Amino acid sequence: MSDEPFASEPPRRTLFRNSNLIGGLAFLGGVIVTLGAVQLGGGFSRVPAAPAPVAAPVAQQPQQNSIPAVPPGTDIATLNARETMLAGKLDLLEMRIRDVDGSARNAAGYATQAERLMIAFAVRRVVERGQPLGALENQLRA
């Protein structure tokens, strides 16, 4: 055996240093990309563009018809038929909503009734056992 003390290896910090280096470089890369995008978009302060030359005002004539302009090749009869079909679908949806609303109100009523029955049965059991009502007392008063 040798008299030299056991030399331990120095702790490895390369993994920690590498991850910090990679994280720092990624952060700086993100900052650079963001600044580049801002510069391409016009920078932080937007200077209003020079106003376009305005032509002399021309007296406008009122429009003769109140029908909005439709693209060329559009058939008015087809549009009217589609509007009628969509109105029918909308009426069906409104009827369904009314039915669902009525069903939901009905279910809420049944749930309230079921809750009251459960409270009544719980009170009955407690009274039969001769125990104090406790929290059920507040629910009986409600």
pLDDT (tens digit per residue) in 99-126: 999 999 999 999 999 999 999 999 999 9
For residue 76, what are the contacts with CB-CB under 8 A and spacing of at least 6?
70
For residue 98, pLDDT beyond 80: yes
- Structural domains in the chain (count): 1
Question: How open is the CA angle 129-131-135, to the nearest 5 degrees?
Answer: 125
Residue 71 structure tokens:
């693209």
Mean pLDDT of the chain: 81
- Whether residue 140 is contained in a domain is answered as no
Q: Given pLDDT bands bounded at 50, 70 and 90, which one contains residue 142? A: confident
Instruction: Find the helix or strand (DSSP H, E) in which 81 lies.
Output: helix 76-129
97 in any annotated domain: no
Give the pLDDT mean for 36-56. 67
Residue 96 within a domain: no
Output the six-digit token pair for 6: 């056991």
Please report whether residue 18 resides in a domain. Answer: yes
Prediction pTM value: 0.38
Q: Is residue 21 part of a domain?
A: yes
Does any domain span residue 38? yes
Q: What range defines the domain where residue 35 resides? A: 13-43
| Structural domain includes residue 50 | no
